[in-house]
Amino acid sequence: VMRLCLSMYLKEIMINATQVSYFILSAYIDAKLLKYLIFVLLFVVYVLIVGCNVLLIVVICVNRTLHEPMYMFLCSLFVNELYGSTGLFPFLLIQLLSDVHIISAPLCFLQVYCVHTYLTVEFFNLAVMSYDRYLAICYPLQYNTLMTTKKVGALIAAAWLAAFLGIASVTSLSFSLQLCGNIINKVFCNNYSIVTLACSDTTVNNVYGLICTSVSALLPVVLIIYTYMRILKVCFSGSKQTRQKAVSTCTPHLASLLNYTFGSCFDVLQSRFNMSSVPNIVRIFLSLYFLTCQPLFNPLMYGLNLSKIRSLWKNLFSMKLR
């Protein structure tokens, strides 16, 4: 009797733990011949993202004059852009040419992990970069002793490890949910869309997700606000040279931060609120903004605004002309 009861109990557990084997991405538009034009445009964007970010990573790594904290943080930022865009674009391009927009469950959760770790690492990187600019502007004489090579490595490692470990826990909780549907109204997988399909209790997911969001968003926001308040205070009371240095180094960082914030807000609005009145193509663009524009925006912004990188481009261009 005990064996019979145990076997029935195990069977019940197996039935309750059954997961969907695939998801349907329902936000794709049947564009017919237009899909080939969209494919070409997105492919060009992806090539530009990979080309620009790889080029700047190589320039920073090869040139010893750029082996400074600010450029090491930039290198981490560019690596993250490659990571995030690679988690989206290859799959997106394949889906555009496909007539059936299906993704297997393991691949869907892998994409969830890649997209969310990219977002978290991006924000942590921007927060660490604001702290670096704060030390450089507010404590210029002590900067080299305050921001050592070991400290740079520790900050970069902490940003990546915290993101990867935190999102791994969130993704594993979502993976264990019992789902009652498999239709995701997006062109890629994200955690919130999967949790809304659950027919089991999601209290743990919601609480842990709230904690992770608070840690990954509020802490960087507090650090960024604090550092820029101190930078502004120094700029107002400092010399013209100090103000010029602050403007030249902080402008690309602020532009990148605003672009990232707007992109994230677009995705939150598109996911959390009913936007059925908005055209589908607009909703798709809003959901993809932070994964397409940010990886292309950062290398262009920093490559054009930082004087050392501009001078290296000029030297390389003049050598080719000779």
Residue 277 lies in a domain: yes
Highest mean pLDDT among 79-83, 211-215, 261-265, 317-321: 79-83
pLDDT value, residue 80: 95
The average confidence (pLDDT) of the chain is 82
Let me know: does 120 contact 216? Beta carbons within 8 Å: yes
Over residues 183-202, the pLDDT tens digits come to 888 888 888 888 888 887 88
| 302, 74 Cβ separation under 8 angstroms | yes
Residue 17 above 90 pLDDT? no
Residue 226 has pLDDT above 60, yes or no: yes
Rounded mean pLDDT of 290-316? 76
264 pLDDT band, cuts 50/70/90, is confident
pTM of the predicted protein model: 0.85
Residue 4 covered by a domain = no
The rounded distance, in Å, linking the Cα atoms of 25 and 204 is: 26
Q: Which residue is associated with the tokens 């915290």?
A: 162
Position 275 confidence tier, pLDDT thresholds 50, 70, 90: low
Secondary structure of 64-107 in the HEC alphabet?
Answer: HHHCCHHHHHHHHHHHHHHHHHHCCHHHHHHHHHCCCCEEEHHH
Asked if residue 21 is part of any domain, the answer here is no
- Residue 312's pLDDT is 65
Alpha helices, DSSP H only, in the chain? 2-16, 34-62, 69-86, 89-97, 105-138, 143-146, 149-175, 191-195, 203-213, 219-237, 240-272, 280-305, 307-321
Q: Determine the Cα–Cα distance for residues 305 and 42; give it in Å rounded to an integer.
A: 26
Q: Which domain holds residue 161?
A: 32-321
pLDDT of residue 15 exceeding 80:
no
Q: What is the number of domains present in the chain? A: 1
Q: What is the mean pLDDT of residues 82-87?
A: 93
Residue 103 resides in a domain: yes
Which pLDDT score is estimated for 121? 94
The verdict on residue 240 lying in a domain is yes
pLDDT at 274 over 60: yes
**Residues 46/93, Cβ–Cβ less than 8 Å:** yes
What CATH number is attached to the domain comprising 63?
A: 1.20.1070.10
Residue 242 covered by a domain: yes
- With respect to residue 11, please indicate whether it lies within any of the assigned structural domains: no
27 inside domain = no
Task: State pLDDT tens for residues 26-57.
Answer: 888 776 778 888 889 999 999 999 998 998 89
